Structure 1
Amino acid sequence: MPPKPNPKQISNPKTSFFKPGSTVEVSSDEPGFSGSFYLGTIVCPSGSDSFLVQYKTLVTDSSEGSKPLREVVPLPQLRPPPPSTAKWDFRVGDEVEANYNDGWWEGVVTDVLGNGKFSVFFRASEDQIEFSKEDLRLHFKWVNGKWVPPVEDNENEEGKKVPTAKECGKETREEMFSKGTVVEVSSDEDGFRGAWFIATVLEAAGNDKFLVEYQSLTTDDDSEFVKEEIDILHIRPCPPEEIVVDSFNLLDEVDALYNDGWWLGVISKVLSGSRYIVYFRGTEEELEFHHSELRLHQDWIGGKWVMASRVCFYNFL
C-alpha cells in the first residue's frame, strides 16, 4: 500500500500560489477547449482542493448586463501565470501558446513568415493560423509546483537546423509529393476531423495544390476511386513504418484504422489478448481495437515527423 500523502505537502500549492486575489490561469476539460488557458483571479477556496475563480476575459450575460464569469475550479486545472518569454526568438518546432479567442491555446510554430509573423499549427483542431510575435509565448508545463520549460527540438539527428517550409521551397514540396507518391490526406469536413486517408498523387495542381486519388474511398456508385484536389496543409507523407511498439500503454496517443482511414484517439483501457479500448475526442466514442489496427500517433510539423507525447487524460476527455 502506498504511503499516505503529507497534509502539509497537499496544502502548500494552495497557500503559496492560490491565495485569494492571486492571478491564475485555468485550463478546461470541456470538448473543444483542450489545450487552452484563461486568465482569472482567485476569489476564495471552495471545498476540498477547489477554488472559486473570477475570469478576466470571460463574461456571463444576465438581466443586469454582462458580468465577469465566476466558476469553481478543481486544483489540477489551476496554475500561476507562466514566466515571460517576450525576448524569445521563435523558431520552427517551438511549442507555444497563442493568444486567441480570449485565451492561450497550445500549438507548434510551423513557419517563420518574417516581419514578426509566425504560422502556428493547433493539433487539437488541425488548424493553422498566423500570429504576431506579441501574441505568442513559449509553452511551459506546471509540474509539482514548478515551471518546466519546453525541450528545444528544432534540430535533426545530425544537429542541423530544420528548415522552414518557406526555406524548403516549392521545388522540395513538389519533389516530396511527386506523381505516384503514396500520401495521407486529411479533411476539414464535420465528422472527419482527426482522420487521415491513404491516397496517391496524380499530379501537381499549382498554388501548393495536388490532385490525388484515394485508395479506399470510392464514388457513390462504387465505379471508381474518388479523385480530389488537396492543398498543402491537408497532405503529408505516410508516417515512417519503422516506429513499431510491442504494446501500447494507457494514455498513448494512437491512430486507429477505422472506416477506411486512420483516426486520432487515445488508449483509455488496456485489455488482454493485445486488444485496447480507444477513446475518440471528436465523437466522444470508445471502440475496441486489436494491436495490429493501431499505430503510435505522429504529427507532420515543419517538414519532419514529431512523436506525440502522452496526454493528461482529464484534458483529453
Structure 2
Amino acid sequence: MGSEEQFREGMLVEVCSDDSDLRGAWFIATVIKAFNKRNKKVQIQYHTLTVDEKGTKPLKEFVLMVNLRPLPPREKDYNFKMNDEVDAYYNDGWWEGFVTMEKEGDRFVVYFRGSKEEIEFGKSDLRLHREWVSADASWLPPLFGEEAPFTMLDVSTSSKLEIDQNKNLSKLEVNFDEGMHVEVSSDEDGFVGAWFTAIVVKAVGENKFLVEYQTLRTDDETELLKEEVDALHIRPPPPESPQVEGFNRLEEVDALYNEGWWVGVISKVLGDSRYIVYFRENNEEIEFEQAQLRVHQDWMNGKWIRTSEALML
C-alpha cells in the first residue's frame, strides 16, 4: 500500500503542525478526506483543537503527508525511569520530552527542549516516544517483546553493550570520555534541529560535559567555542552508512548547512547530483549538492537507527 492510500477516510491519525507555537506536538484527528493528488494533501478534523472559544466547533485542516502518522502503539503498563524519552499529554496534544525526575505515586517530571520547561505528570499522561518509519510501516522502538527492525552499531571503543533481560531490549551505554568526537544539539532559537561536531574537553558534573565545537567560534572569532552541555544534547557521531549513488525523493537526509547538520527531506531531485531539501523546522526549501548530504540516522535509546524514507508532499 502506498503512503497516499494509507490514510483512509475515517482513520484515526496523529498530526503535527508547522505552527511555531505547536511545533513538537502531535494531535489526534480523524481523516475526513483522503489524499488529494491535486493539492497533495489530506483533510483531517482534530479531536481537541477547535476554531471557537467555546470549543464546540472542531478545527478542520488540509495537511501535508509529512505531518501525518498512524496512532502509535502503547504499552499497557510501563515503569518510566530517568532519561526515558517520552511523549507527555499536555495542552491537548502529545509533546516530546525526557524524564528528569521520578516522584512518589507514579508521578514524573518531564523536561521539554522546545520550551525549556519542566512539568510534572502522572503515569497515565505519559507514553514512550516512538518514531514512525513509513518505508517499513513500523514504529521504532517497537512494543516490548517484539523484534526490533534495526541492528546494533559499534559507535566507539568506549561503548558498552548491556542487555536488559526484563524488557527484552538492548541498550547501548556510551561513556563520553575526554577527547571523544561527538555531535551536540542546541535549544537556542535558530539552532533547533541541528547537530554540531565537537570534542569532549572533560566531564564537569553528573551527566554534564564541557565540549569544544569544531565549526562554531566565539563572538570575536579568535578561538573555537566551548560550552557546557548535558547528556540529553550530546551523542556519538553517526556511523558511516554505505555510500549511495544518489538520493530519492521523500528520502530523509542530514544537510550540511550553517556549520551544522540539519535534518530534512528530499523534495525534488534536480539531476547532476543536486537536490532540493525541505526543512520542517523553518518550512524552507534549499538546494544542495550530494556531497553536502548524508543519510539521516537517529540516536534513540542508545541505538543508531535509520529511517530510509519519510512522508512528504
TM normalised by structure 1 equals: 0.66
- Percent of aligned positions with the same letter in both sequences? 44
Q: In 1, are the aligned partners of 2:89 and 2:125 still within 8 Å (CA)?
A: yes
Amino acid aligned to 1:211: L
State the distance in 1 between where 2:185 and 2:176 align: 15
Which structure has the greater CA radius of gyration? 1
What is the SS of the residue equivalent to 2:288? strand
Query: Is contact 2:16-2:25 (8 Å) kept?
Result: yes
Partner of 1:5: none
Query: Which residue pairs with 1:104 in the alignment?
Result: 94
Q: CA deviation at 1:258?
A: 1.3
User: Which of 56, 60, 64 is equivalent to 1:72?
Assistant: 60
Task: Name the SS for the 1:263 alignment partner.
Answer: strand
Residue in 1 that maps onto 2:304 = 305
Tell me the equivalent position of 1:280.
279
1:112/1:301 CA distance change after superposition, 3 Å: farther
Structure with greater helix percent: 1
Instruction: Indicate conservation of the 8 Å contact 2:72/2:139, yes or no.
Output: no
Residues 97 and 69 from structure 1, CA distance in 2 versus in 1: closer, same or farther, beyond 3 angstroms? farther
Q: Any idea what SS the aligned residue of 1:134 has?
A: helix
SS at match of 1:99: strand
8 Å CA contact 2:85–2:99 kept in 1: the answer is: no
Residue-pair matches, total: 280
Question: CA offsets per residue over residues 24-53 of structure 1, 9 Å max, x none?
Answer: 55624534447612357x9x98xx998784
Deviation at 1:275, TM superposition (A): 1.1
Return the alpha-carbon distance in structure 1 between the equivalents of residues 125 and 152 of structure 2. 31
Q: 2:230 corresponds to which letter in structure 1?
A: D
- Over 3 Å counting, the alpha-carbon distance change for 1:178 and 1:121 in structure 2 is same
What secondary structure is seen at the aligned counterpart in 2 of 1:226? strand
- SS of equivalent residue, structure 1 residue 271: strand
C-alpha offsets along residues 248-291 of structure 1, whole Å, 9 cap, x if unaligned?
11111111111111111111111211111111122222111111
The structure-2 alpha-carbon separation of the partners of 1:91 and 1:246, relative to structure 1 and needing over 3 Å to count, comes to: farther
Equivalent-residue separation in structure 2 for 1:122 and 1:307 (angstroms): 24
- The 1:33–1:242 alpha-carbon spacing in structure 2 relative to 1, beyond 3 Å, is closer
Q: Retained in 2: the 8 A contact 1:278–1:288?
A: yes
2:49 partner amino acid: L
Counterparts of 1:160 and 1:267, CA distance in 2:
36
2:157 corresponds in structure 1 to none
For the structure 1 residues 266 and 87, does the alpha-carbon distance in structure 2 shift closer, same or farther, using more than 3 Å as the test?
same
Deviation per CA, 1:137-184: give whole Å up to 9, x if none: 57697x9xxx977644298559974699xx989xx65xx311111111
Query: 1:96 and 1:129 mapped to 2: Cα distance?
Result: 13
1:312 deviates by 1.5
Q: How has the CA–CA distance of structure 1 residues 182 and 156 changed in structure 2, closer, same or farther, with 3 Å as cutoff?
A: same
Tell me the distance in 2 between the aligned counterparts of 1:291 and 1:160. 37
**Deviation at 1:136?**
3.9
Determine if contact 2:266/2:278 at 8 Å carries over to the other structure: yes
Matched, 1:200 2:199: yes
SS at match of 1:292: helix
The 5-angstrom pairing of residues 179-258 of structure 1 reads: 179-258=178-257
Q: Give 5+ residue unaligned stretches, structure 1.
A: 1-9, 19-23
Instruction: Name structure 2 gaps, 5 residues minimum.
Output: 154-160
**Which residue, out of 3, 17, 26, partners 1:36?**
26
Please give the secondary structure, in 2, of the residue aligned with 1:30: coil
1:57 alignment counterpart: 48
- What is the DSSP-based 3-state SS (H/G/I as helix, E as strand, rest coil) of the residue aligned with 1:68? coil
CA distance in 1, matches of 2:289, 2:61: 38
1:27 maps to 2:26? no
Distance (Å, rounded) in 2 between the aligned partners of 1:300 and 1:72: 34
Instruction: Give the residue type in structure 1 aligned to 2:91.
Output: N
Distance 1:127 1:233, change over 3 A: farther
How far apart, in 2, do the equivalents of 1:121 and 1:310 lie? 29
For the 8 Å contact 1:185–1:199, the answer to whether it is kept is yes
Cα distance in structure 2, aligned partners of 1:119 and 1:29: 25
Change (3 A) 1:84 1:203: closer
Shift in Å, 1:214: 1.2
Using the size of structure 2 for normalisation, the TM-score is: 0.66
Q: 1:133 to 1:247 in 2, by over 3 A?
A: farther
8 Å Cα contact 1:50/1:72 also seen in 2? no
Query: Could you say what the CA RMSD is over the residues aligned between the two structures, in angstroms?
Result: 4.9
> In 2, Cα distance between the equivalents of 1:155 and 1:50?
30
- SS of structure 2 residue aligned to 1:233: helix
Aligned to 2:125: 135
Q: In 2, distance between residues paired with 1:205 and 1:79?
A: 40
